[in-house]
Structure 1
Amino acid sequence: MATPTFLKTLLVPALMGMTGLAIAHGNVTPQEVDTGKLPELGEEVRMENPFREGNELDKFNAEAVKVGESAYAGNCAGCHGIRAMSGGLTPDLRELTVWDDEYFINRVRNGTDRGMPSWKKTLDQNAMWAIKTYVESLPKPE
Structure 2
Amino acid sequence: MSVSFSLKALVAASLLSIAGFAMSHGDVTPQEVDTGELPDLGKDALMVNPFREGNEHGDNYAEAINVGKSGYAGNCAVCHGIEAMSGGLTPDLRELTEWDDEYFIGRVMNGTERGMPSFRENLDQTAIWAIKTYIESVSPPQ
TM normalised by structure 2 equals 0.87
Cα RMSD for the two superposed structures: 1.9
Partner of 1:58: 58
Equivalent-residue separation in structure 2 for 1:138 and 1:131 (angstroms): 11
Partner of 2:92: 92
Equivalent-residue separation in structure 2 for 1:73 and 1:48 (angstroms): 23
Q: Secondary structure at the match of 1:25?
A: helix
Q: Matched residue pairs, number?
A: 138
Which residue identity lines up with residue 65 of structure 2 in the other structure?
A: V
Partner of 2:139: 139
The answer on whether the counterparts of 2:26 and 2:116 sit within 8 Å (CA) in structure 1 is no
Partner of 2:130: 130
Decide whether aligned partners of structure 1 residues 9 and 92 sit closer, same or farther in structure 2, where only a CA change above 3 A counts: closer
The answer on whether the counterparts of 1:27 and 1:78 sit within 8 Å (CA) in structure 2 is no
Partner of 1:70: 70
Which string of whole-angstrom CA distances, capped at 9 and with x for unpartnered residues, describes residues 45-89 of structure 1?
Answer: 111111001111111111100010011011001111110011111
Equivalent-residue separation in structure 2 for 1:107 and 1:16 (angstroms): 28
Structure 2 residues not aligned, in runs of 5+:
none
Counterpart check, 1:118 vs 2:106: no
Structure 1 residues not aligned, in runs of 5+:
none
The answer on whether the counterparts of 1:26 and 1:79 sit within 8 Å (CA) in structure 2 is no
